[in-house]
Amino acid sequence: MHELSLAMDVCRITEENVGRSSLGLVREVGVEVGDRSGVEFGTFEFCLDSLLSAPPFRDARACIQRTPGDELRVTYVEVEDGDPED
Amino acid sequence: MAIRRIEVREKVMAKNDEIAAEVRGALAEAGVPCFNLVSSPGSGKTALLERTLQELGDELRIAVVTGDVQTENDAERLARHTDRLVQAVVTNGACHMDARQIRTALEQVDLAQTDLLIVENVGNLVCPASWDLGETEKIVIFSVTEGEDKPLKYPRMFERSTRAVLSKIDLLPYLPFDTDRAVEFARQVNPELEFFFTSSISGEGLEDWYRFLRDAARHGDGVPA
């Protein structure tokens, strides 16, 4: 549950950065997971992949890197420039 | 098709930490210490609070926020021992409380008329360690019916706590629990950890716990360990 709520927060941050109408265009979300962040890596990865593969996302994937320290952060979002207006 | 990269660098817990700082600020301004009680289910958090409210309730104005995955049973139990409002937070399946819930609960609490705030977290020795609620200190409770090696199994919770309550010590004569070993394991994880040894049934050790709460309320903040 803890990992799922953190994964949902990653989706919230993604939405804040690209806008809800562009979530279907997200291709990759970069996340750093500190080795002392208290996050179980495998469970978190599974939760995030599950969320990113379901609507309103389409073909998004997570690129998760382990880092030293205790922080969990979203580092970048890659979006397809499908619509010039996006 | 072109791919655009947006740099973010945002901590996932940033929102929670921001609200926790806000809660901490409001509590500090009002001079109200806040203790976040964390433990596994069944360690005796509610029993300790029931007795605390019963015996210190006339002396200290204690506000309580309880978190449970389902039911308001703990809040109902505690409400029998105090005239003050006991706030129940039902997390609806979530394994921890977050700072947003505490901020909402505090909307109903008159901090100017409060000496002490106690949060009874969801029974879980893992997840609540990661969530700052704006508390002065986390206090971990574990009982003699659990293994002595709880601190080694759940180190993060014992690291994040400043004090530990070893509860149900009235049962020690009936159990092969080695108290010295439990304390030693806990201090391997956190050498600074201060201990209380209590029984909410016999009342043994509670005077030390009450003294700590009285001192904290008097100072308006946590007492240095």
Does B6 contact A78 at a Cβ distance shorter than 8 Å?
A: yes
Amino acid, single-letter form, for residue B7: E
SS3 of residue B144 by DSSP = coil
What pLDDT sits at residue A82?
67
In this prediction, residue B223 has a pLDDT band, given cuts at 50, 70 and 90, of: very low
Phi/psi of residue B123, each to 5°?
-65, 105
The sign one gets for the Cα dihedral B92, B93, B96, B98 is negative
Structure tokens at B99: 């700072």
> How many percent of chain B have pLDDT more than 90?
72
What pLDDT sits at residue A1?
58
Residues of A in contact with B126 (CB under 8 A): 2, 38
Rounded CA-CA distance B5/A81 in Å is 10
Residues of A in contact with B94 (CB under 8 A): 1, 5
Phi/psi of residue B164, each to 5°?
-130, 140
What pLDDT sits at residue A63?
96
State how far the alpha carbon of A59 is from the alpha carbons of A28, B93, B138, in Å: 8, 29, 41
Rounded CA-CA distance B158/B133 in Å is 17
pLDDT tens string B103-138: 999 999 999 999 999 999 999 998 898 889 999 999
> Mutual orientation of helices B206-219 and B45-56 as an angle, nearest 10°?
70
pLDDT tens string B41-67: 999 999 999 999 999 999 999 999 998
Burial tier of B1 (Cβ tally within 10 Å: 0-12, 13-18, 19+): exposed
State how far the alpha carbon of B221 is from the alpha carbons of A20, B13, B42, in Å: 43, 25, 28
Greater confidence, A84 or B126? B126
The minimum CA-CA distance between A58 and chain B, rounded to whole Å, is 15
Structure tokens at B51: 């007795």
pTM of the predicted model, to two decimals? 0.83
Mean pLDDT of A65-85: 86
Round the average pLDDT of chain B to a whole number and report it: 92
Q: Write the residue in B4, B13, B96 that is nearest to A81 by C-beta.
A: B4
Residue in the structure block whose two tokens are 């301004």: B29
What pLDDT sits at residue B81?
87
B224 has pLDDT over 50: no
Greater confidence, B93 or B179? B179
Rounded CA-CA distance B191/B159 in Å is 9
- ipTM surpasses cut 0.90: no
Structure tokens at B115: 């000496």
Does A9 contact B96 at a Cβ distance shorter than 8 Å?
A: no
Q: Write the residue in A2, A5, A76 that is nearest to B5 by C-beta.
A: A76
Residues of A in contact with B13 (CB under 8 A): 6, 9, 71-72
Residues 6 or more apart whose Cβ sits within 8 Å of residue A40: A3
B214 has pLDDT over 50: yes
Rounded CA-CA distance B23/B7 in Å is 30
Mean pLDDT of B84-91: 83
Residues 6 or more apart whose Cβ sits within 8 Å of residue B225: B162, B163, B192, B193, B194
Mean pLDDT of B187-210: 98
Mean pLDDT of B193-219: 97
Rounded CA-CA distance B40/B140 in Å is 9
In this prediction, residue B225 has a pLDDT band, given cuts at 50, 70 and 90, of: very low
pLDDT tens string A26-47: 999 999 999 888 888 888 998 9
Greater confidence, B183 or A50? B183
The minimum CA-CA distance between A25 and chain B, rounded to whole Å, is 9
In contact, B124 and B40? CB cutoff 8 Å: yes
Structure tokens at B133: 């609620």
Rounded CA-CA distance B61/B75 in Å is 17
In this prediction, residue A86 has a pLDDT band, given cuts at 50, 70 and 90, of: very low
Interface of B with A in 142-161 (CB under 8 A): 156
Mean pLDDT of B159-175: 97
Structure tokens at B73: 């049973």
